[in-house]
Amino acid sequence: MFSRLARGDEVALPNFGLETVHHVHADDVAQGFQRALENWSASVGESFHVVSPRALTLRGYAEAVAGWFGRDADLTYLPFNEWADRPEYDDTDVEATEEHIRYSPNASIEKARERLGYEPRYTSLEAVREAVEALVEAGEIDSNE
C-alpha cells in the first residue's frame, strides 16, 4: 500500500475508510512502562492505554502518507469482502487489516496522563512517518512511477 500511495496509484480501502487505527511509537510505550514503574502506588493493579493522543481513520492515514510523497491519495472504497479478494492483498494483509479495523480502536490516554504523567512524544502520524521513512531508506517502498 505504501508504494502505491507514494506513486499516486489507486489504493482501495475497505468499507468507507472510516474505521480508526491508533498507532503508537515504541518510545512512547517504553515511557508508559517507565512511568508505571516510577509511580508504583498509582499503577499497581491498574491498566492504562499507552497510545498516541488521537486515533485516525484509514482514509486520513492514506491521505497523509500520499502527502508525504507530494501526492494526493487516489482512493476507492469497497465492502470488506470485495476488498479482501483483490489480488494485491495476500492472506496476511487481509488478516492484519481485519484485526486492525474490526474494533476500530480509539483509546483514551487520560488515565495514564492523570495518574502517571504519561505524555506521548509522537502523534499517530509521526510514529508511522518515522517507520515509512525507514522503509524508504531500506528500499522497501518504491516511489518511482
Q: Does residue 80 fall inside a structural domain?
A: yes
Task: Specify the CATH number for the domain of residue 24.
Answer: 3.40.50.720
Q: Does residue 38 fall inside a structural domain?
A: yes
What is the pTM assigned to this prediction? 0.86
Q: Does residue 66 fall inside a structural domain?
A: yes
Q: Does residue 143 fall inside a structural domain?
A: no
Handedness of CA 86, 90, 93, 97 (dihedral sign): positive
**In total, how many domains does the chain have?**
1
CA dist 83 → 16, 17, 32, 75 (Å): 11, 11, 36, 12
pLDDT (tens digit, 0 to 9) for every residue of the chain, 145 residues total?
A: 899 999 999 999 999 999 999 889 999 999 999 999 999 999 999 999 999 999 999 999 999 999 999 999 999 999 999 999 998 888 998 999 898 888 888 899 999 999 999 999 999 999 999 999 999 999 999 877 6
Q: Does residue 105 fall inside a structural domain?
A: yes
Q: Does residue 100 fall inside a structural domain?
A: yes
Give the other-Cβ count within 10 Å of 31's Cβ: 19
Determine the Cα–Cα distance for residues 24 and 22; give it in Å rounded to an integer: 7
- Note down the domain range covering 27: 2-137
